[in-house]
Structure 1
Amino acid sequence: MRESFDIIVIGSGLGGLVCATILAKEGLSVLVLEKNKQYGGNLQTFVRNRCIFDTGVHYIGGLAKGQNLYQYFNYLGIADKLRLQRMDEDGFDRITFDNDPNEYPYAQGGANFIDQLCYYFPHERQGITQFYARMQAVCKQFPLYHLNGKDAYQWNEGVLGLKAQEVINSCTTHPKLRAVLAGANLLYAGVADKTPFYVHALSTNSYIESAWRCINGGGQIAKLLIREIHKHGGKTLKYKEVSQFHIEGNLLRSLSTTDGHVYRADTFISNIDPKQTLRLMGDYPMRKSYTNHIQQAENTISSFSLYIVLRPGRIPYLNHNFYHFKDEASVWGSINYQEADWPTGYMVSMNAKSAHEKWAEGMTVFTYMRYEEVAEWATTHNTVASTGYRGEDYEQFKQRKTEAMLDELEKKFPNLRQHIRATYASTPLTYRDYIGSETGGMYGFVKDANQPLKNSLPPRTKVKNLLLTGQSVNMHGILGVTICAVLTCSEILGRDYLLQKINEKTD
């Protein structure tokens, strides 16, 4: 294989794969380097007891024909190849609480979203309508959300500084409705006094447009993108962990991998944690304000995930997710949990094995977990590519957390333990080792409405030919990371040119 390329992409998460696909389609020679055994970052799946589990992609929004993510994926050549199941149109997400039998639905379609919530809050139509209108108005402030290449993006602090909790509270005084409207904030690890409303709007609105599960997991997205990369002459390599950048002057000339290989390129795109990218730059001189922006960025909280293999024919398949909380205060308070009360909120999603599922084969549950809870095992590492054992104490810790999680789940799914075939758990250390975030943060860096201009990084770094992409650079999630990759590639190809190519692509 040649060891000099037009483009080298470091990391095969969604952002890296989208960048590689776009640039390979444009005729550039592209190489993707991935440290793990499996490509895909948060798109990775794994199999236990013949049951496929997603690690990060439990559902996707905006994939109906003509919608934003569909158009991006259509340009990338994968939209018509995805195996999808549309989720319950009258309630793809259900917000629930202890001691409340109601399941408050998030429905697909703006009018349906309003109507379904008004069934439970008949006197709150004005507030619900106002909330939906505020989401729409904020989404319009982001041109690439609507594939609009004509309007320049404006750093409007009046929009970026709005806090999600404050906007929701301004729409209604009803305590339960406030909790319901904020109830899917595990999608972005919402912090009451920090999270901007635009994060809530961009994350939630995409699913309201249309919500889908990937049949047999989101790993198919990575496989399809890699197929497109190869189709256009690009290369991908696994077990290639980058260990050093070689910078001369103001240019990154080459990089080394831990196996001793050196790869050269004209341009490099880093899809790994920006803090790790900074470390790879070594002692390259940069402004302190730039390095501080990255080094001092707050990581989002991590998670504890429980993967449950169910006995056949025991629990009906549910074509929706649950976001469940102990009470209304827990909607924003779960992120600041006390160990004795953990977990105070969680998300449940079932695996889709076919388009017409009757019985659930497996279910995934995740909740917040701080890195400090596993810090005593921080020196251990364990992946498929590089196996290691964290010790019996760690296994006992996971088992204690599993039992606590099952205790909570049985309040919602009575006698669940009787229907379980096997359970598997992951902690912030699992996420750290596979994804590369230093503390296992789920969604990159914390977005803070109090410091709106620090909420993203420019794709260009202080090294002339080194670009950034991924969830820590701009927005997280499938749509957010895809848009970020388009922004990164725009630095090479030009935004007007690339948006025109994307918009011109039709079925």
Structure 2
Amino acid sequence: MRIRPRLFNLIPCVIGFFRMSDNNHFDVIVIGSGISGLTCASLFARFFGKRVLVLERHFTAGGFTHSFRRDNRYEWDVGVHYVGEMDPASHYRVLFDAITDGVVKWQSMPEVYDRFVYPDFTFNVRSGMRRFREDLIRKFPEEREAIERYFRDLIATARWYGRLMLARLLPSQLQSLSRLFTAVGRSLGMMTTKDYLERNFVSPQLKAVLVSQWGNAGLPPAKSAFAVHAVIACHYFDGGYYPVGGAKTIAESIVPIIESSAGRLLTRRRVSRILLEKGRAVGVEAVTRARGQEIVERYTADKVVSSVGAYITYDQLVPKEFSLSFRPAVREFPQGTFHICVYLGLRESPEKLGFRGENCWIYGDYDHDAMFSQRGSVTDGKINGCFLSFPSLKNPATAGHTAELITFVDAESFKKWGTQPWGHRGDDYDAMKQRVADALVEFVDERFPGFAQLVDFCEVSTPLSTANFTGHREGCIYGLPGTPEKLAAPWLGTRTPIKNLFLTGSDTAGHGIVGALMGGVLTTLVASRNPLPVLRLLLKAHLRVRHPEKRDVVAEMNV
């Protein structure tokens, strides 16, 4: 599929051509090259002909969608483990094809794409909402009515969340309409997931199964908003997908689109300040290094889009002299979740142990909140749960056999090493990482005997690794936590009090790669003076999923 811009969308390209003499001035500057920032950059370049500059502090583009290799054969994705709703009939697939020019291909996971492993039973999740519901009823027949109501509530609440995101696009003068627009379904969406479970279910095992994927949002049921849980649960109803060639193909496909409109993506640029003049954003200052010296670079633009989160944007990048009444609320808002990831190279294919490419959520108890509260003991080698994924079984283009083990931790456990530089944090830090890796491998081996014998290579990342490469506060992931308080925060949205400065990313839309994708789409919709191209793209996506019989019409739409 190739989307051809209309003639009036080529006019900005001509304007951009004559601006190229000023190499440090761009139409749009995007801070951060995660999926939300890349989405904005691609849409601005492709549909509006804008000259876009993307600045990334890491030496690799892509944010949590980048990949890395070791020993020239083992490859892992740091943040993408599976993505829902990427079948050809999905509206999100239409959007992804638009920002990547259809270059990224998607491999479907097996019918059983998730396994929930508990001490006394394993529940296999099959793709298809009907099959998932039937399997739950078969396992817990005494709670049939509650299970059926649960699926109805999931769909209704996910739709309410969508209305909430749209309401946040309204300008400040119309924000009074937002609550009216989201009144129906608000009480259900804003309760915690645990409250919903306690009100509707009896069996501890059933409650545990229903929230086994809570790691996809980074919050256990007592903390997460039911709306956030509903969106993620619905997202995976039709199974999981994985990008062929790994997540790195996303950035690789978008960079040429940016460059086609004379834009650039620069790595090793840590944005230190958003430049303001008379209350409007006019550019940024970025720090890089050359020959051992720090160099401050200055770039100007007509618009600035920050994809690095509300906390970094408002607390660190917007100058302190600019008054923001909600800045204390941003600083005091609870942080997101912290994790350790163990990257494993395997001697043989994990198919030897019966794995087919599915993920495994492995737990030592039914009480997810209790397990989460014990995360401070992980650095002592005490494991009560982990996520197991096999990138090599999902990616047909890979060479070596690989696995990833992820568990959540407490940031407090890492503060004593926080001031030490990356790669030089001492023997005790390395010993701690080895202790955690050994404990996680043993935890998995107890459930799947023979797993430990497959391990050939091991590397461990901690919250300090995340902080070093992303700048996130103490190395948290997922942005601001998806609590009811986040959904009610009036200062979260794509618009900011500063003219020509916009936010995008998980803080403005949803969690995960698709949440960030939608954040980028909605930010571009708001920030562009001519929203027609984005609206046409959204209409095309709507027709694809709602009216399969109209796909021929969709194919002919000259977006």
TM-score, normalising length from structure 1? 0.90
Q: For residue 270 of structure 1, what is the amino acid of its counterpart?
A: S
Question: Which deviates the most, 21-30 or 230-239?
Answer: 230-239
The residue aligned with 1:86 is 108
8 Å Cα contact 1:254-1:263 kept in structure 2: yes
CA distance in 2, matches of 1:146, 1:459: 10
The answer to whether structure 1 residue 241 and structure 2 residue 270 are counterparts is yes
Residue aligning to 1:48: 70
For 2:366, the equivalent position in structure 1 comes to 328
Post-superposition CA distance 1:443-486 (Å, at most 9, x none): 11122225641287121222211111112333221111111112
Task: Report deviation, 1:274.
Answer: 2.6
Q: After alignment, is 19-28 or 231-240 more displaced?
A: 231-240
| Aligned with residue 82 of structure 2, among 47, 54, 59 | 59
Q: Distance in 2 between matches of 1:450 and 1:8?
A: 30
Shift, 1:296, TM fit: 1.5
1:202 aligned onto 2:239: no
- SS of structure 2 residue aligned to 1:491: helix
In structure 1, what is the Cα distance between the partners aligned to 2:418 and 2:398?
A: 42
Structure 2 counterparts to residues 215-230 of structure 1, below 5 A: 215-230=244-259
Aligned to 2:511: 476
Matches within 5 A, 1:337-376: 337=374, 338-339=376-377, 342-352=382-392, 361-376=401-416
What's 2:92 paired with?
Answer: 69
Matched, 1:135 2:170: no
Indicate the residue corresponding to 1:32 in structure 2.
Answer: 54
**After superposition, what is the alpha-carbon deviation per residue over 1:241-279, rounded to whole angstroms, capped at 9, x for unaligned?**
222333221122232221222111011011113322222
**Which piece of structure 1 moves more, 298-307 or 135-144?**
135-144
Partner of 1:385: none
Secondary structure of residue in 1 paired with 2:344 = strand
> SS in structure 1 opposite 2:420?
coil
CA offset at residue 95 of structure 1?
Answer: 0.9
Q: 1:470–1:450: structure 2 CA closer, same or farther, 3 Å change rule?
A: closer
Aligned equivalent of 1:253 = 282
Q: What one-letter code is carried by the residue in structure 1 that aligns with 2:324? A: R
Partner amino acid, structure 2, of 1:268: V
* Residue 310 to residue 59, structure 1, CA distance change in 2 (3 Å): same
Contact 2:391 2:402 in 1 (8 A): yes
Contact 1:189–1:301 (CA under 8 A) maintained in structure 2: yes
Runs of at least 5 residues in structure 1 that lack an aligned partner in the other structure? 383-387
For 1:282, the equivalent position in structure 2 comes to 319
Kindly tell me: are residues 332 and 129 of structure 1, through their superposed partners in 2, closer, same or farther at Cα, counting changes over 3 Å? same
Is residue 143–residue 201 contact of structure 2 (8 Å, CA) maintained in 1?
yes
Q: Distance in 1 between matches of 2:517 and 2:537?
A: 15
Superposed, which structure 2 residues align to 1:310-459 within 5 Å? 310-313=346-349, 315-316=351-352, 317-329=355-367, 331-337=368-374, 338-339=376-377, 342-352=382-392, 361-382=401-422, 388-449=423-484, 452-454=487-489, 457-459=492-494
Residues 317-369 of structure 1 deviation map (CA, whole Å, 9 limit, x = unaligned): 4221111110111x232221151683211111101367669998111010001
Instruction: Identify the structure with the greater helix proportion.
Output: 2
Match of 2:173 in 1: none
Residue matched to 1:165: 194
Amino acid of the residue matched to residue 335 of structure 1? F
CA distance in 2, matches of 1:355, 1:402: 24
Q: 1:116 and 1:358, CA in 2 relative to 1: closer, same or farther beyond 3 A?
A: farther
Indicate the residue corresponding to 1:264 in structure 2.
300
The percentage of counterpart residues that share the same residue type is: 25
The letter for the 2-side match of 1:126 is E
- Cα offset, 1:105, TM superposition: 2.3
Q: Which amino acid aligns with 1:492?
A: A
Name the residue aligned to 1:108: 127
Letter in 2 for 1:300: G
In structure 1, the residue matched to 2:33 is 12
Q: CA deviation at 1:425?
A: 0.7
TM-score (norm. length: structure 2)? 0.82
* Offset from partner CA, 1:22-69 (integer Å, 9 cap, x none): 111211211111111110111011112311101111000011122232
Unaligned runs of 5+ in 2: 1-19, 171-176, 288-294, 542-553
Output one character per residue of 1:202-232: Cα deviation in whole Å (capped at 9) or x when no partner: 1121111331122342121121122322234
The one-letter amino acid paired with 2:92 is L
Q: Distance in 2 between matches of 1:391 and 1:284?
A: 39
Contact 1:68-1:146 at 8 Å conserved across structures: no
Return the offset for 1:177: 0.8
The size of the alignment, in residue pairs, is 496
8 Å Cα contact 1:312-1:359 kept in structure 2 = no
Given that 1:216 and 1:352 are in contact with CA atoms closer than 8 Å, whether structure 2 keeps it comes out as: no
Seen in structure 2, the aligned counterparts of structure 1 residues 355 and 404 have a Cα distance that, compared at 3 Å, is closer
- Contact 1:346 1:365 (8 Å CA) reproduced: yes
Q: What SS is found at the alignment partner of 1:352?
A: helix
Counterpart secondary structure, 1:46: strand
Q: Which moved more, 1:11-20 or 1:158-167?
A: 158-167
- 1:191 and 2:191 are equivalent in the alignment: no
The aligned counterpart of 2:7 is: none
* Residue 497 of structure 1, CA deviation: 5.5
SS in 2 for 1:260: strand
**Match of 2:536?**
500
Moved more, 133-142 or 209-218: 209-218
Look up the SS of the partner of 2:474 in the other structure.
coil
Structure 1 residues 499 and 150 mapped into 2: Cα distance closer, same or farther (>3 Å)?
farther
Report if the CA contact (8 A) 1:63-1:210 is conserved: no
Separation of aligned partners in 1, 2:494 and 2:395: 39
